[in-house]
Amino acid sequence: MDNAIHTLLQAMWEDYLELAPDARSIHDLFAASNNGNVVNDHIALRTYSLPEVNLAVIARAFTDHGYIEGGEYEFPARKLFAKHFQHPNPELPKVFISELLVEKLSEQAQQHITALVDQVTPDATQSPLFCCSGRPWQLDTQTYDELLAESEYAAWVAAFGYRANHFTVSINHLSEPDTIVDLNHLLQKHGYILNDTGGLVKGSPDVLLEQSSTMAKKVTVDFTDGTREIPGCFYEFAKRYPTGDGTLYQGFVAASADKIFTSTHTKAE
């Protein structure tokens, strides 16, 4: 395996564990009944569409190591656009990268986001570990609150920056539980809070993908003028179904993804 991509994914996992307080114990719960093996279906990253940090800039760390574009997804109500990337080596996780279409936001939000992105140096984005470098700008609570009032996504990126917002357990690779309903019950029995936007299970065998996720737990975030407890990162669970040629569907489903985004929301939708 390409060492650079392995190093990046390992660094992303370690960074992610810091911001997803439940992730280690959920991982270990599945590892215990699957000989220690928990396969990661995909990770996801978020960004703003400004040219210094847009989706294409974030994707480079992956495309430089053999990842290729797999599909495009639109979320007009959230003002988001996304692509997924996959690697010819099926053991590597897919990468789902979304960007907030900044030009569609209010003047005030655009000014806030431009002021944040102006603090990012080209050197920083070119670093091979930019994708797990966290927040490359200073942020105060008023800017966070004003962004939050307009877009939960805008505020999340402002607070957390560049890192995996979730990893995803591949249910196909678990011997048990092998249905998403059983998996959700197991997690709930252990007290984990799941995302119930539109129901616990997003998607169906008909669209070749079923997904569920935890709600991100609150973590302490530093601002220039104090600290706040806000939702960090979450864990997702995905089961894929075969396409006509018998291989598992490798894409995403926009209608389901739309509901996974709420896993980091501070308020119910």
Where does this chain bind ligand OOG (CB under 6 A)?
44, 46, 96, 98, 165, 211, 236, 252, 256-257, 260-261
Q: Smallest gap, in angstroms, from Cβ of residue 222 to ligand OOG?
A: 22
Q: Which positions from 14 through 73 interact with Ni ion, judged by CB under 5 A?
A: 44
Query: 57 by DSSP, 3-state: which?
Result: helix
Q: Is 109 exposed, middle or buried (0-12, 13-18, 19+ CB in 10 A)?
A: buried
Among 43, 55, 151, 119, CA closest to 87: 43
| Nearest-angstrom CA–CA distance, 199 and 194 | 10
* Choices 12-20, 113-121, 177-185, 236-244 (CB under 5 A): range interacting with Ni ion: 236-244
How many residues bind to Ni ion according to rule CB under 5 A?
Answer: 2
Please answer whether residues 51 and 118 qualify as being in contact, where contact means their C-beta atoms are separated by less than 8 angstroms: no
Q: Select 74 or 118, whichever has its Cβ closest to ligand OOG.
A: 74
**146 or 210: CB nearest ligand OOG:** 210
Closer of 146 and 236 to Ni ion (Cβ): 236
In the bound state with ligand OOG, the residue whose beta carbon lies nearer, of 105 and 209, is 209
Phi, psi (degrees; rounded to nearest 5) at 66: 95, -5
Which of the listed partners (Ni ion, ligand OOG, none) does 59 bind, with a CB threshold of 5 to 8 Å by partner kind? Answer: none
Of 73, 177, 48, 232, the C-alpha closest to 125 is 48
The yes or no reply on residue 236 touching Ni ion (CB under 5 A) is yes
Q: Which helix (DSSP H) or strand (DSSP E) does residue 204 occupy? A: strand 202-204
Residues that bind Ni ion (CB under 5 A): 44, 236
